[in-house]
Chains A and B, each alone.
Chain A
Amino acid sequence: MARKARQSRPQLVCVIADNSGSMTGAKAQAATAGIREMLLRCQTTGPRGPDRSYFRLVLIRFGTTAAVDERCNMTPVRQIDADSISVVGDGGGTNVTEALQLAFDGLQRYMAEIIEPHPEKVEHPVPLVLLFSDGYHNGTGDPADVANKIKSLAIEGDAITIATAGVATDASEGPDEGLLRLIASPGCYFPINSVGALTQFLAEVGSSGASSPSEVAKLVERLRLPYKG
């Protein structure tokens, strides 16, 4: 049976945003625009009404440390003001492990407390995780190990999908593509070489309602076409 979001079974989207110092400027603005656009698209999906969100959002920003945005902590999207969301690029380093661990802790609780006892579990959309970064992990631990724990969480065999984007839009060192490919579900890594493409990736994948790696991979493949923004 197809997994489809409804008011009674909204899809959880978890955005893990690189807020390190190298993201300052155009990249942070593009990330902000992408998350806001994603949020607005999610808000306008499904029948209108403040209590009818078809999506919930978790937003985790990471720099030297990682933190969940309390306004976006499993919050129904129609309760979030898009204008209040931003990525600035003032977080210092790039601690991907801590960000993924925060995501895993929340997702594990969500799967156990919300999904497992849910009467519509069979049709419930699987959570979707988006992570973007423009640099190399410089915290402790192996991010790929934590990503594998996230990807092992599943609803009746349908695993959580992680889509990653490596942001390389300027002359700086560039993302750790190898790591981001390991973190991503199969086919779900997207190389970003323009700020517009980062906005597009976040907006389109985040609001797609995709519930499996193959659905996300098809989207990512389509996005790989030359960005026409």
Chain B
Amino acid sequence: MQEVGGVAESRVREMVDRFRHQLESSGTVCAESGEIAWPGGRLSIHTDFGPAEQDKDMNQDSVVAWVPNEPSRIQCAITVADGVSSSFQAEIGAQVACWAALAELVGEVADFDNMCRRSIDAAGNAIGGLADELIEDAERFRPASEFASTWKYTLREGLLLQTTLMLAWVEGDRLNVVIVGDGGAALFAGDPSNSRATLLGGASPETNRVHALGPLNRRVSAFDYCGRVEFDGAGVIALFTDGIGRGVGSNPSELFHECVSGRQGARELIEWLVKERPSEFEDNLTLALIGRD
């Protein structure tokens, strides 16, 4: 059951519509699930609640992809976010972060470091702005099911709208990736039957603590991953939230084999995981694939 109180649906819609309008003025947008072509190949994205028997009410992940209408320095871009499950309205944080980061990235092209910083900061500020609205009139936005003491604590400690965020975009023969949190990426280059996998980012097994954007962490001091890798020949990039990442293990090629060969898109792989391996992938599942021909 949707919790009453907090950020209103209409407010979220208003924000997302504004970012969507910005993005659609220069390109094609695909959100949550779908496939679109980009100059170098195809994008495939999908997000799913995951196995039914898990300790969650809803899908707190989000994914948005963008491809320009005209030739552009950015050939395609994707954002993926995973709301912190214990954080109030984390699914809203994830959604807003994705749209805000992508709109900022596409809006004004600059050097790599600046683009990473500005995009991630835009996401943090969007989340922070929503939190500020709630704090300004806390009692009005208090969920009916929460004690005033708990709600005050939630706002004071910033335990709302928190989310991880990944942003990836292709520029020429390079893939640019910046990650806040435990999302991961794998780059498969070369012949699909024998492609090497390079892992970027991903959850650390040593700790349960997750680095995330939030009202008290709008401007992260350091990214969990920030880099550029060669992506100049045939290959596939997979971006995934930790629901998939934890099951990837040390041999991602095995898991993504059908995607790398082009026989499966993001949706098909996730549906297979939910059906065949629910206990290993017991979380919200989100995958974005950038295929280069």
Residues of A whose CB lies within 8 Å of any CB of B are: 6-8, 36, 40, 43-50, 52, 78, 81-83
Contacts and interface: CB of A to CB of B under 8 A. Distances in A.
A70 B154 CA distance: 26
Contacts, number: 48
11 contacts: A7-B55, A40-B149, A40-B150, A43-B150, A44-B150, A46-B55, A46-B86, A48-B3, A48-B88, A81-B147, A83-B147
Contacts of A52: 55
Contact of B56 (A36, A44, A47, A78): A47
A82 B150 contact: yes
A49 B55 contact: no
A7 B57 CA distance: 12
Contact residues of A: prevailing secondary structure:
loop
A44 B149 CA distance: 12
B55 A82 contact: no
Contact of A36 (B57, B149, B154): B149
Given A6-B55, A7-B55, A48 B86 contact: yes
Given A6-B55, A49-B3, A44 B154 contact: yes
Nearest to B56: A47
Contact of A47 (B86, B148, B159): B86
A16 to B, nearest CB: 23
B151 to A, nearest CB: 10
B157 interface: yes
B43 to A, nearest CB: 31
B153 interface: yes
B125 interface: no
Nearest to A36: B149
A75 to B, nearest CB: 13
B175 to A, nearest CB: 34
B149 A83 contact: yes
Contacts of B87: 48
B85 interface: yes
Contacts of A81: 147-150
Rank and list the top 7 A-B pairs by shortest CB-CB distance, nearest first: A50-B145, A82-B149, A40-B153, A83-B149, A81-B147, A47-B85, A44-B159
A43 B146 CA distance: 10
A148 B146 CA distance: 38
Interface in B83-110: 85-89
Contacts of A82: 147, 149-150, 153
Contacts of A45: 86
Interface in B37-94: 55-57, 85-89
A44 B153 contact: yes
Contacts of A49: 1, 3, 57, 145
B25 to A, nearest CB: 36
Contacts of B89: 48
A227 B251 CA distance: 45
Contacts of B146: 50
Interface string B150-166: 10011001010000000
A52 B54 CA distance: 12
B148 A83 contact: yes
A38 to B, nearest CB: 12
